[in-house]
Structure formats: structure tokens, C-alpha cells
């Protein structure tokens, strides 16, 4: 069902951050940093995949995502909703249901047998495709998915995520240079503000997290190895 209520962008960000904290999808640990896929340390970690297990929260967030892309990109802007393998697939399916649009998904690489396809489902030339994923850090992984979509003859000028790190310089510019606009619900800054408002973590932890968010590369270099 297409959402008919439209909270402000600021309220969507606050409530989305609150939901992430409520289901403990947010983890802060400055003393024993998490190791990211890049091999670099981070005092923050977010697990948006957990959201699929919470029906009320996932429903509200998908309403928010549908509203956000309609508000920012247009009410009739898309013909197909594509999920990025694997975390984006359930969210793409739920957004497609809300917008009454076909759903497809994009593999990270060809499956190596059969048709060797990267696109699963029906995507046709000329379709305007919205790429949906759970989150983006620096935008890099989105470009491969976008290229795979464009290879079908479809267009992809928008990607939507629940969570955007918003701490690495040049992310949105990198996407824009590739002809892609980023739509998101909340960022680390929204989560930090809500964590402070709720008292979800001790003051020392939040101070260290803020130091990381303000200068992530410096924080990582100081603790690397």
C-alpha cells in the first residue's frame, strides 16, 4: 500500500535512528574497535539486516523509504525496484510492494552457470530503476550494481538506503559523478544525537564516537595495527 502520510525529513531521521537503537542494530565500542571489511578499525558498527525480524519497525522504515524517494525523486519516477545482493533484497521487495512496482535484484557478480546473469527477475530496456540497499558507507559498492542495471538498457539514476554513514568526504559527489542521486533515512549524526537524547551509551563512549565521526581517517590511522 502506497504511504499517504508524510513526516518531515527531520522527523523521519530521528525516528529511524530511534528504531535502530531500539533493536540494538547500533554498536559502539571505542575500547575494542570493530574491524571493517576494509581491515580498518571503527568504534561504530551497524547491522541493518536485523530489521527484517521486527515487523512493526521494518514496516515503518519501508513506509519512510517509499515516502522519501517519492518526495525527493518523484511520484512516477520509477518502473522497477532493484535490490542489491544480499542485504538489499528484502528491503527492495517491501518498497516495490508499497509502490506497486516490479521487483528485481542484482548479483554482486555473475553466478557462473546457466545464463550467467547478474540481474534476476525481469528488467527491460528503458525502465527507470531505483536501486535499494540497506546502507552505504562511501558509495563504492553501489557503482557496480548501477553499471549492471545499465547494461540491460535500463536507466538507474537513484539509490535509496536506510542508513548512510555521512562521514567520508566525497561520497555523494562520487555517486553524482556516476549520475546517481542518494536518498537515505538517517546517518551516524542522527544516531549519535538520538543516543545522547536517550542516554543509550555512557558519555565517554559517545565522545569517542563523535571524535571518530568528525575525523574517521585520522581515528583509524591512530589505531591501525
**Phi then psi dihedrals of residue 142, to 5 deg:** -65, -35
pLDDT at residue 114 is higher than 60: no
Crossing angle of the two packed helices 88-99 and 55-73, in degrees rounded to 10 = 70
Mean pLDDT in residue range 79-86 = 96
pLDDT at residue 224 tops 90: no
Could you tell me which of 150, 223, 139, 123 has the C-alpha nearest to residue 183?
139
- Helix ranges, the chain (H): 9-22, 55-73, 88-99, 140-150, 171-177, 188-198, 203-214, 216-223
State the pLDDT confidence band at 139, using cuts at 50, 70 and 90.
confident
Confidence of residue 141 (pLDDT cuts 50, 70, 90): confident
pTM of the model: 0.93
The per-residue pLDDT for range 11-65, each reduced to its tens digit, is: 999 999 999 999 999 999 988 888 876 677 889 999 999 999 999 999 999 999 9
Write down the domain spans for the chain. Answer: 9-223
Burial 144-166 (b: 16+ CB within 10 A, else e): ebbebbeebebbbbbbbbbbbbb
Which CATH code fits 9-223?
3.40.50.2020
**Mean pLDDT of the region 149-164:** 97
Please state which of the ranges 41-55, 63-77, 210-224 shows the lowest mean pLDDT. Answer: 210-224
Residue 113 has pLDDT above 80, yes or no: no
Query: What average pLDDT does the structure give for the chain?
Result: 93
Q: How far is CA 69 from CA 49, 77, 152, in A?
A: 21, 9, 23
Give the whole-number percent of the chain exceeding pLDDT 70.
Answer: 95
Amino acid at each position: 500500500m502506497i504511504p499517504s502520510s508524510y513526516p518531515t525529513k527531520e522527523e523521519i531521521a530521528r525516528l529511524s535512528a530511534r528504531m535502530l537503537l531500539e533493536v540494538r542494530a547500533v554498536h559502539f565500542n571505542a575500547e575494542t574497535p570493530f574491524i571493517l571489511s576494509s581491515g580498518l578499525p571503527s568504534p561504530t558498527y551497524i547491522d541493518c539486516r536485523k530489521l527484517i525480524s521486527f515487523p512493526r519497525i521494518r514496516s515503518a522504515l519501508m513506509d519512510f523509504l517509499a515516502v522519501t524517494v517519492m518526495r525527493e525523486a518523484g511520484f512516477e519516477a520509477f518502473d522497477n525496484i532493484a535490490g542489491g545482493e544480499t542485504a538489499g533484497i528484502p528491503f527492495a521487495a517491501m518498497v516495490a510492494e508499497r509502490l506497486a512496482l516490479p521487483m528485481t535484484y542484482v548479483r554482486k557478480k555473475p553466478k557462473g552457470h546457466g545464463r550467467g546473469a547478474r540481474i534476476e527477475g525481469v528488467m527491460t530496456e528503458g525502465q527507470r530503476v531505483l536501486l535499494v540497499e540497506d546502507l552505504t558507507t562511501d558509495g563504492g559498492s553501489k557503482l557496480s550494481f548501477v553499471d549492471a542495471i545499465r547494461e540491460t538498457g535500463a536507466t538507474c539514476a537513484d539509490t535509496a538506503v536506510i542508513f548512510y554513514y555521512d562521514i567520508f568526504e566525497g561520497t555523494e559527489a562520487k555517486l553524482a559523478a556516476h549520475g546517481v542521486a542518494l536518498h537515505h533515512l538517517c546517518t551516524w549524526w542522527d544516531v549519535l544525537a538520538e543516543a545522547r537524547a536517550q542516554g543509550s551509551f555512557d558519555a565517554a563512549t559517545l565522545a569517542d564516537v563523535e571524535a571518530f565521526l568528525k575525523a574517521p581517517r585520522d581515528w583509524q590511522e591512530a589505531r591501525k595495527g
